[in-house]
C-alpha cells in the first residue's frame, strides 16, 4: 500500500514538471518575441546603414577587382576574344573574334630632302624663307630681284607637269579624243592615290586640266603614254624642249614628276614659267580654283593644289605646285605685284604651308620696294652669300641626289 502511494506521488511529480517547463518555455518564448520586436524597432536604422556600408564596400571591392583584371589582361600576352552579337536574316548569331592589341608607337625619323643632304637648308636670307632655294625675276626685264641657291639642280616633283602640259599643247593633238586610264598609269614608285580608277575614260582636254590644276598623276601619265612614240617619245620631247629653252640643269624621266630623277634649278624653271605663260590654255588650266570634269560619264569635282589662286588679293597668271619627299614642297608662279610682272620659284620648302607662306613674304618685300631702293645691293644683297654657297653646294647636291634611297610618299 505504501509502495502504491509512493508510485502515485512520483507519477504526479513527473507530470507536473513538463507542464511547468512548457509554460515557462511559452512565456519565455513570448517574452523573447516581444523583446526581439522591441529590439527590431529600435535597431532598424542601424541595420540599413550596415546594408548601405556593405553595398558600397562590395562595389569598391568589385571595382578594384575589375581594375586588377583589366591590368592583368593588358599585361598578359595571351590572345583575347571579343563576343559579338549580330542579326542575320532575322536570326541572332553570336561570334567570337580575336581582339587586336595596339602595338607600341614608333616615331619615324624625319625624312631628309636632297637639299638637306647638300646642306642648302643652312643658307640664311634676310626674309627668313623656309625654302632652301628661291628666285624672283622681273618677267619683262629678266632682272634678278632675289635669289638663293638658284643654280642648284634639285628634284622638282610635280613641277614636271608644267613641261608635260607644254608638250601636249604644242603637239596639237586632238584635245577631244577620249583616253583610257590603264594599269600602266598606276603609280608603282610612291604608291600615290588617285581618284581615277583603271578603266576610266576621259578626254585629253580634261586630263590636261586636272594634271595642271590638281596635279593628278594618272592623268599626266595617260597624257604621256598617248603621245606619238609612247611615254619614251614623250620624255624625249620634254628633254628636247628643255634644251631648246636653255634649261641646261634640267632632266626629265617621266611625265608626272613622281621620280626624284626629274631635276632642275630655279633659274631653269624661271625660263620654263616665262615660256609657258605665253600659252593661254596653260594659264587657264593651272589657275582655275576648281573644275568639274567627266570620267566615264560621271561628274567629278577637282580643286587647285594652290589655294592662292582663289584669293582676291593675288593676281596669278600661271602656277604649279609639287611635292615628293626627296624634293620637299615646291612652287612656281607668275604673278603681278605692284604693277610688276614677276616670276617666283621656291624649291625644297619645309612645312606643308611654307611654300605659299614664302610667296607671301616675298610679295610683302616687293610691295615695300621703290625704284630708288631697288638696287642690286639692296635687292640681292641678302642672297649674295647664298648664291656663292649655291655654286659650292651644287656638286654636293648632285652627289647626295645619287645616294637617295629613302622611299618618298606622294
Q: 225 CB contacts (<8 Å, ≥6 apart)?
A: 182, 184, 185, 231, 234, 255
Distance CA 285, CA 262 (A): 22
Instruction: Report whether pLDDT(153) > 60.
Output: yes
Q: Which residues pair with 295 in a beta bridge?
A: 298
CB 301 within 8 A of CB 292: yes
- In whole angstroms, give the CA distance from residue 83 to residue 97: 7
pLDDT in tens, 97-145: 776 665 665 655 668 999 999 999 999 999 999 999 999 999 999 999 9
Q: Which domains are seen in the chain, by residue range?
A: 117-402 (3.40.710.10)
Instruction: Please give the C-alpha separations between residue 229 and each of 41, 44, 256, in angstroms, as whole numbers.
Output: 106, 100, 17
Q: Number of helices and strands (H, E) in the chain?
A: 10, 13
Q: What is the mean pLDDT of residues 276-298?
A: 96
Residue burial 299-319, b: 16+ Cβ < 10 Å; e: rest: ebebebbbebbeeeebebbbb
The confidence score (pLDDT) of residue 41 equals 46
Alpha-carbon distance of 115 to 122, in angstroms, equals 10
> 83 vs 58, which has greater pLDDT?
83
Average pLDDT, the chain: 81
Distance from CA of residue 232 to its chain's centroid? 33
pLDDT tens, 337-385?
999 999 999 999 999 899 999 999 999 999 998 655 553 333 444 444 4
Amino acid 136: pLDDT:
98
For residue 278, give Cα distances in angstroms to 4, 139, 166, 174, 375: 152, 12, 10, 20, 29
* % of the chain exceeding 70 in pLDDT: 68
Q: Which residue has the higher pLDDT, 40 or 92?
A: 92
Give the model's pLDDT for residue 109.
62
For residue 81, pLDDT over 50 is answered with: yes
Residue with cell 593651272: 286
Burial 366-401, CB ≥16 within 10 A → b, else e: beebeeeeeeeeebbebbeebbebbeebbeebbebb
Set of cell numbers at residue 162: 608644267
**What's the whole-number mean pLDDT along residues 252-277?**
98
Pairwise CA distance, residues 211 & 207, whole Å: 6
Catalytically annotated residues: 158, 161, 215
pLDDT at residue number 6: 64
- Which pLDDT does position 18 carry in this prediction? 47
pLDDT 10s digits, 210-232: 999 999 999 999 999 999 999 99
Question: In which band, very low, low, confident or very high, does the pLDDT at 86 lie, cut at 50, 70 and 90?
Answer: confident
Residue 90 is predicted with a pLDDT of: 77
**Residue-level pLDDT at 260:** 96
* Bigger pLDDT: 305 vs 46: 305
The Cα-based distances of 114 to 16, 133, 135, 242, 408 in angstroms read 119, 12, 18, 22, 12
Q: Report the residue count for the chain.
A: 410
pTM, two decimals, is 0.69
Closest CA to 345 of 360, 357, 332: 332
Task: Report d(CA 318, CA 358) in Å as an integer.
Answer: 17
**Strands in 230-303 per DSSP E:** 263-264, 290-295, 298-303
Amino acid at each position: 500500500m505504501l509502495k502504491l502511494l509512493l508510485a502515485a506521488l512520483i507519477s504526479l511529480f513527473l507530470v507536473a514538471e513538463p507542464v511547468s517547463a512548457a509554460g515557462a518555455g511559452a512565456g519565455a518564448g513570448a517574452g523573447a518575441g516581444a523583446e526581439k520586436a522591441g529590439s527590431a524597432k529600435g535597431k532598424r536604422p542601424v541595420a540599413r546603414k550596415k546594408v548601405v556600408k556593405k553595398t558600397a564596400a562590395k562595389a569598391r571591392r568589385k571595382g578594384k577587382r575589375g581594375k586588377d583584371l583589366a591590368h592583368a589582361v593588358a599585361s598578359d600576352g595571351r590572345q583575347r576574344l571579343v563576343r559579338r552579337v549580330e542579326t542575320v536574316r532575322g536570326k541572332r548569331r553570336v561570334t567570337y573574334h580575336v581582339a587586336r592589341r595596339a602595338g607600341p608607337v614608333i616615331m619615324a625619323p624625319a625624312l631628309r630632302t636632297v637639299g638637306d643632304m647638300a646642306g642648302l637648308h643652312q643658307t640664311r636670307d634676310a626674309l627668313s624663307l623656309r625654302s632652301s632655294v628661291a628666285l624672283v625675276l622681273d618677267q619683262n626685264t629678266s632682272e634678278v630681284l632675289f635669289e638663293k641657291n638658284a643654280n642648284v639642280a634639285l628634284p622638282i616633283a610635280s613641277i614636271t607637269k608644267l613641261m608635260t602640259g607644254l608638250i601636249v599643247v604644242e603637239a596639237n593633238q586632238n584635245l577631244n579624243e577620249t583616253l583610257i586610264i590603264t594599269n600602266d598609269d598606276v603609280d608603282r614608285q610612291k604608291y600615290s592615290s588617285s581618284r581615277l580608277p583603271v578603266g576610266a575614260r576621259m578626254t585629253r582636254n580634261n586630263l590636261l586640266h586636272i594634271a595642271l590644276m590638281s596635279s593628278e598623276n594618272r592623268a599626266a601619265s595617260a597624257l604621256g603614254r598617248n603621245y606619238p612614240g609612247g611615254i619614251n617619245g614623250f620624255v624625249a620631247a620634254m628633254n628636247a624642249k628643255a634644251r631648246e629653252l636653255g634649261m641646261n640643269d634640267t632632266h626629265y624621266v617621266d611625265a608626272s614628276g613622281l621620280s626624284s630623277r626629274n631635276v632642275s634649278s630655279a633659274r631653269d624653271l624661271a625660263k620654263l614659267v616665262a615660256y609657258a605663260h605665253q600659252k593661254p590654255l596653260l594659264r587657264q588650266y593651272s589657275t582655275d580654283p576648281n573644275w568639274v570634269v567627266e570620267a566615264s560619264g560621271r561628274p567629278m569635282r577637282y580643286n587647285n593644289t594652290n589655294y592662292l589662286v582663289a584669293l582676291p588679293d593675288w593676281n596669278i597668271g600661271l602656277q604649279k605646285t609639287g611635292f615628293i619627299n626627296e624634293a620637299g614642297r615646291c612652287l612656281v608662279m607668275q604673278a603681278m605685284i605692284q604693277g610688276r610682272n614677276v616670276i617666283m620659284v621656291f624649291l625644297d620648302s619645309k612645312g606643308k604651308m611654307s611654300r605659299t607662306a614664302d610667296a607671301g613674304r616675298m610679295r610683302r618685300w616687293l610691295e615695300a620696294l621703290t625704284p630708288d631702293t631697288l638696287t642690286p645691293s639692296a635687292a640681292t644683297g641678302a642672297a649674295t652669300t647664298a648664291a656663292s654657297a649655291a655654286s659650292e653646294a651644287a656638286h654636293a647636291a648632285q652627289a647626295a641626289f645619287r645616294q637617295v634611297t629613302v622611299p618618298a610618299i606622294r
